[in-house]
Chains A and B, each alone.
Chain A
Amino acid sequence: MSRSLRIAVADDEPDMQDYFRTILPRLGHAVVAVAGTGVELLAKCRETRPDLVITDIKMPDMDGIEASVQLYQEMPTPVILVSAFHDAEFLRRAEADHVLAYLVKPIKQADLEPAITIAMKRFEQFQALHKEAADLKQALEDRKTIEKAKGLLMKKANLDEHAAFRRLQKLASDRNKKLIEIAQSILTAEEAYGAS
């Protein structure tokens, strides 16, 4: 049994709104927002910050795909699209990486349950990957800064590479700071001198 989710749903059909309201709690989830249009969905999501969005595509004022694109820009949230249409055009538009499932109507409870589970799993994986990528990127940036500071030390203090690195490590250890912070301080100081 997966964890309980806070879900926002959108469909212009009252029958479907009732359906989600009835069925999702039986699957152990909470329906935190019910919308009839794309605009309403966005507004309610800003308010409630749901874990998952299940939305119809064809709705008045803004369709489900457009709404989910905007939502993603504001807060990355997993989306399951439910639609009577499965045209190539819709599929292409729904290819954004946060759209994690595309269900073709009519759907049953039996379809929803695994779809939600899979969607959440995928989203978590996706988020984890995202984080990992971001960490790696940061590490790469830090590395570049440390290298620059090291180079500066080697030049100013007439040290070899190893000695320069040792000095940076000692400074970080003495001041109880991260190596990157020491490196940044050195570069900032150099910038101050250089500016005179």
Chain B
Amino acid sequence: MDSLKPLNILIIEDDPDARANLRDILEIDAHRIEMAGSSAEAFRRDDWSTISAILLDRKLPDATAEELLPRLKAIAPDAAVIVVTGYSDLQGAISALRQGATDYILKPIDADDLRLRLRQVAIYQSTRSALHLAERRFRLLVQNSSDIITAFDTAGTVLYQNPAIERMLGYSSESLLGKNVFLGELLHPDDVSVLRSCVVHAQERPGLPIVAEFRMRHSDGSWRDLEALVQDLRHEPGINAIIASSRDVTERKRAEEANRASEERFRRLFDSGIVGVGVSDRSGLWREANDELLRILGRSRSDLESGRVRWLEATPEQDLPLGRAGLLDADHHGVCAPYEKEYRLADGSTVPVLIGYASLETSDNLFICVVLDMTVAKQTENLLRLERDFARGLIEGAPAIVLVLDAQDRIVRFNRFAEDLSGYRTEEVLGRDYFETLVPERDRAAVRNLFHQTPTEPEPGGTINPLLTRDGREREVRWSRRLLSDDDGRVVGVLALGQDVTDLKEAQERAMRSERLAAIGQMVTGLAHESRNALQRCQACLEMLALHVDDRPEALGLIQRLQRAQDDLHHLYVDVRSYAAPIRLERESCDLETIWQRSWAHLDPQRQGRIASLVAFVGPFDSRCEADPFRLGQVFSNLFENSLAACRDPVRIQVDCATDRIDGKPAVSLTISDNGPGLGPVGLHRVFEPFYTTKTKGTGLGMAISQRIVEAHGGTISLGDHSGPGAKFIITLPRGTP
């Protein structure tokens, strides 16, 4: 009994003698005794937790043992209940045992037997209390473990789950009880077999932990990586289950994965051959190098392995300070800003490189270096520079205007051609508003508007608008424009390429005029034919009328006036026809002087009563050329007639000859001038215009016809300088047939 603790025993017995007898026996073993004479008295107690054994009389006046046992078990579950009963009531004792009684004892009481039985109770209770404590400790440990601890049977049914699962996977431990760990509910379907084989393994070696890795679904839907120790502890009576102790290794796995990826990337970089990668130490020795780095350095792998490749030796003197600064940078910031330098190779050649390095965390002596071969880049840069020079040459040398305006219409670029055409120097116009400076005022708003609507891509054909030169002349320019944008797609200006089409436009206008004239010519020829018949009838009737009224002078006067009007009309038809009809030249070798002298002679009637002279300075000059003498005669007649009409007596008309060239071919140039009032400002502009005349008589077609005739000869007729008095015309004719 010595080591055993005495028990607190409650005796519930209605017979006082029996009660005292029991107490006496039990006190021998130092048990503490409480007593109650009835169930009612017993249930009045409030110290049930201290009671470790109850001696219960089978038959109490207020209840039987069978009735009381459930209540006692409920109120004092840890207490051992021994039912005291008589021989005659053995059946009742057995029924009490079924109700949860620990033991029974027959009356009359055998003192030794009672003591022995209570000793057994004491032993049992002491063991149980020790066990209880151990289990409590263990349970606390399990409950508070940071690992997920799961107990399940061989079928996989969860018998116990600690609360750690809530923190790690978001499920309550209760919700997992009774679930099967092998059903792919939480376990990743691919990992079911993994766990199963682990469990089988564990069962083959009871007690030996087996490592398993599998994935489980977090309540948020994500998969978590778990690492578990699975142990078959069914042989442990307190456990009797297979235990899995798991922890979440997702983060670790992720870190490992990231590490591996980073290592892989570095490895790829190292192996790629795009850049040179190597590890060097402070002494300038390359410890490691990839193939590309060795290629750049012009060394072999065996050179490297024998420790003979040093960057210090390959670095030219002037680049050493750069290297020192870079090392300092790497010491302070871990990495150095990449810089360009050169390697001088053993064969004396140099390689331009871009280099950057970082100190290795594991050692302050080692650096990892990245070296980029810039040879190609340098070559590309040179090519680019050539390209740029070429473009600049093109822009400056192009026979077209290259104009760039910024978003505020200011001139940003203005090439040589633009200078030549406009008469402005680039520095004069840079920064100035293009439209204010180089567009005639009347077109300014429209052209500005047009430029503002420049498309992103140049439109085909372009648009033609005038450019105002420095000296106030206008040139027609065909513009092809496009928008200029910066990298963000914002419009920063307009690029305009301009072609000088002034001459082209004039030629087009000339072609159009002659086309129009041809059409008019056809019409007028028809008109002239038809009108001849009508004119003839008028004429006939006029003359017959005159015969009828030859005794009436006033009527004859009217007929004369009719006759003049009729003659004017006839002349007009003739002139219009000869202006508009196609000119068919009949060229022959002729002497210009003869032609103009003949024309002058034909004007004899007009010169009657006038003082007029024709002075020609021909000298030894050869005035012969291939021409239509009749047509040229018309030209001279026109000029002389005009002079006679415009000048006051004495009229002096002068003809000067000179040799000239047209398109590189020999030509004759005649200057015909008079001493009259000149053409006047309006006449200067309109003299060759059809129907322009200053005379009261005349159709105004004379000079227009003359111009057509001269141009039909492949020559030109123009006004001479009008600084002096009088009119001055210059006729240039090719000597041969053009």
Contacts and interface: CB of A to CB of B under 8 A. Distances in A.
Interface of A: 13, 15-16, 18-19, 22-23, 26, 84-85, 104-109
Contacts, number: 44
B529 A85 contact: yes
Contacts of A19: 540-541, 543-544
Interface of B: 529-530, 532-533, 535-541, 543-544, 547, 566, 570
A34 to B, nearest CB: 14
B544 A22 contact: yes
A14 to B, nearest CB: 9
Contact of B537 (A13, A22, A26, A104): A13
Contacts of A22: 543-544, 547
B540 A84 contact: no
Contacts of A13: 533, 536-537
Contacts of B541: 15, 19
Contact of A107 (B530, B539, B544, B566): B539
A108 B543 contact: yes
A84 B527 CA distance: 11
Contacts of B536: 13, 16, 84, 105-107
The 4 lowest CB-CB distance pairs between A and B, nearest first, are A19-B540, A84-B532, A105-B536, A106-B536
Nearest to B538: A106
Nearest to A112: B543
A106 B544 contact: no
5 contacts: A13-B536, A13-B537, A15-B537, A15-B540, A18-B540
A13 B533 CA distance: 9
B535 A106 contact: yes
B529 A23 contact: no
Given A22-B543, A108-B539, 17 more contacts: A13-B536, A15-B540, A16-B540, A18-B544, A19-B543, A19-B544, A22-B544, A22-B547, A23-B543, A84-B532, A84-B533, A85-B529, A104-B532, A106-B532, A106-B535, A106-B539, A106-B566
Contacts of B533: 13, 84, 105
A106 B570 contact: yes
A35 B343 CA distance: 118
Nearest to A105: B536
**Most A-side CB within 10 Å, residue of B535, B543, B570:** B543
A84 B547 contact: no
A145 to B, nearest CB: 50
B95 to A, nearest CB: 159
Nearest to B548: A22
A13 to B, nearest CB: 6
B576 to A, nearest CB: 16
B394 to A, nearest CB: 57
Contacts of A18: 540, 544
B333 to A, nearest CB: 102
A105 B533 CA distance: 7
B524 to A, nearest CB: 14
A109 B559 CA distance: 15
A16 B536 CA distance: 8
Nearest to A58: B533
B464 to A, nearest CB: 43
A104 B536 CA distance: 9
Nearest to B569: A106
Contacts of B537: 13, 15-16
A22 B544 CA distance: 7
A61 B54 CA distance: 168
Given A84-B529, A85-B529, A105 B535 contact: yes
